[in-house]
Amino acid sequence: MPNSPTRTDLLIQQEHDTIVQTYKRAPFVLTGGEGATVFDAEGRAYTDWVAGIAVNALGYGDPGLQQAIQTAATGLIHTSNLYYTAPGIELAAQLVEKSFADKVFFTNSGAEANEGALKFARKVAFEKGLKDKTEVVCFEGAFHGRTLGALSLTPKEKYQKPFHPLMAGVVVANYNDLASAQAAITDKTAAVIVEPVQGEGGIYSATPEFLRGLRHLCDQHGATLIFDEVQCGMGRTGKLWAHEHSGVTPDIMTLAKPLAGGLPIGAILMTDAVASAMHAGEHGSTFAGGALVTGVAGHVLARVSDPAFLAHVNEIGDYLMDRLSEINSPLVKEVRGKGLMVALELTVDVSPVVEAGYQHGLLLVNAGANVIRLVPPLVVNREHVDELVGKLTDILAGMG
Ligand SMILES: *Cc1c(COP(=O)(O)O)cnc(C)c1O
């Protein structure tokens, strides 16, 4: 008699039957978590080096986060932006206090934050009467999201090709190549958008000289400099904002992934010069800045911006890089990154390593074909690192 299907089998079949098949999912169903560990429906445990793609900064079951959600849930969940509510105002004040920015606009996701940033930058030029100043410069390897404007700034054929025509006026330059940027940025440039550390593109850090050069070129041509810190911001690199490693500040910074500890939120932070180009009715979003998510984000930001918390990210990040560098395998090409945003680049396709990770109780994710991207909950400790390195060593040894 054949075995009766497990709950996992049934759910996976139902997912195939009912959900658009745009995601290639791991072959198990997650049901719970504690700290940096998640559990599946068959009771197996996995140490999580993905964190919901750099989202779950405080991990799972965090008591402070649970309390913040409970407190927020007893208040108003949503009011629309027709009315003032305290949590969004308090979160904006905290973001302004802890960054270069003077003003904040809330969104619901990273793509939506970048869409807004684009509109704001074009409006800055429009307000000056510069009707031809509409171009946007982005970089090879960038990822800015899947909506049409953000997709237009994400120069990857697989993502873009079926969806033409894209937004007009996009110019693609080479990352960390100032000569290329200089050729791309002109008086027609409304905005330059760059990730201080590229995430999806494979964990590549912009050099301080590159960001300084972009700042200079934007000032020279009156263009708005946008830093997309959706993945690298909020403590991930060991500083609250990734651009702090360079000392360069943008005109706009976009945030999302970890900002509310797993609840959907995004934010556009900007200078007064940008904000003053926007007037009532010129942009909006029904759910954005709702009391529940902003209340929770206020807790997450307060926790993550604590110097002791950032010191932990730096300490464990350094330990992770050191331990990964000790792996003695001909398959390892490079270890790179900052804080807890680390790449283990192999000489081969990493999908068998990700698959083997599941057997060994590890959640891993790639960034491109040859890179294992390590973006765990920021609360991981040395024992988690030792476990990871031991298991990766075994997995790589097994691949010859
Ligand atoms: C994930 C990501 C986005 C898109 O965010 P979504 O919330 O998925 O829309 C944009 N920029 C960067 C750098 C990202 O990593």
CA 56 to CA 257: how far, in whole Å?
8
DSSP type of residue 141: T
Cα angle 240, 251, 183; round to 5? 115
Above 80 in pLDDT, residue 139?
Answer: yes
Check if the beta carbon of residue 236 is closer than 8 Å to that of residue 378: yes
Check if the beta carbon of residue 144 is closer than 8 Å to that of residue 111: yes
- Spacing, Cα 10 to ligand 1 middle (Å): 31
Check if the beta carbon of residue 218 is closer than 8 Å to that of residue 194: no
Look at residue 3 in the predicted model and tell me its pLDDT: 82
CA 62 to CA 58: how far, in whole Å?
6
- Spacing, Cα 134 to ligand 1 middle (Å): 23
Paired tokens of 391: 């298991």
Residues contacting residue 365 through CB under 8 Å, at least 6 positions apart: 49, 50, 53, 354, 372, 373, 375
Per-residue pLDDT reduced to its tens digit, 318-377: 999 999 999 999 999 999 999 999 999 999 999 999 999 999 999 999 999 999 999 999
**Which pLDDT band, with edges at 50, 70 and 90, does 1 fall under?**
low
CA 354 to CA 46: how far, in whole Å?
12
Check if the beta carbon of residue 41 is closer than 8 Å to that of residue 29: yes
Question: Does residue 165 have a cis peptide bond before it, meaning omega lies within 30 degrees of 0?
Answer: yes
Check if the beta carbon of residue 106 is closer than 8 Å to that of residue 265: yes
Count of other CB atoms within 10 angstroms of residue 61: 12
- Spacing, Cα 7 to ligand 1 middle (Å): 32
Average pLDDT over residues 29-34: 98
CB under 6 Å to ligand 1: residues?
109-111, 114, 143-145, 195, 199-200, 228, 230-231, 256-257
CA 72 to CA 87: how far, in whole Å?
9
Residue type for position 278: M
- Spacing, Cα 256 to ligand 1 middle (Å): 7
Above 90 in pLDDT, residue 234?
Answer: yes
Query: Domain map of the chain by residue range?
Result: 7-61+307-398, 75-304
Per-residue pLDDT reduced to its tens digit, 94-119: 999 999 999 999 999 999 999 999 99
Look at residue 149 in the predicted model and tell me its pLDDT: 98
Closest ligand 1 atom to residue 150 Cα is 10
Above 90 in pLDDT, residue 400?
Answer: no
Paired tokens of 350: 């990493």
CA 59 to CA 255: how far, in whole Å?
19
Lowest mean pLDDT among 2-11, 20-29, 137-146, 154-163: 2-11
Closest ligand 1 atom to residue 145 Cα is 4
SS3 391: helix
The pLDDT > 70 percentage for the chain reads 100
Paired tokens of 200: 């999806």
Q: What is the DSSP string of 22-49?
A: T----SS-EEEEEBTEEEETTS-EEEES
Residue among 53, 26, 48 nearest 35 (CA): 48
Cα angle 394, 397, 400; round to 5? 155
Check if the beta carbon of residue 138 is closer than 8 Å to that of residue 189: no
Closest ligand 1 atom to residue 111 Cα is 9
CA 167 to CA 181: how far, in whole Å?
20
Check if the beta carbon of residue 372 is closer than 8 Å to that of residue 366: yes
Give me the CATH code for the 75-304 domain, please. 3.40.640.10
Check if the beta carbon of residue 99 is closer than 8 Å to that of residue 305: no
- Spacing, Cα 229 to ligand 1 middle (Å): 9
Above 70 in pLDDT, residue 298?
Answer: yes
Closest ligand 1 atom to residue 54 Cα is 15
Per-residue pLDDT reduced to its tens digit, 32-84: 999 999 999 999 999 999 999 999 999 999 999 999 999 999 999 999 999 99
CA 31 to CA 216: how far, in whole Å?
49
Backbone angles phi, psi at 31, to 5 degrees: -125, -20
Average pLDDT over residues 200-220: 98
SS3 107: strand
CA 139 to CA 198: how far, in whole Å?
10
CA 123 to CA 87: how far, in whole Å?
28
Average pLDDT over residues 208-236: 98
Closest ligand 1 atom to residue 198 Cα is 13
Give me the CATH code for the 7-61+307-398 domain, please. 3.90.1150.10
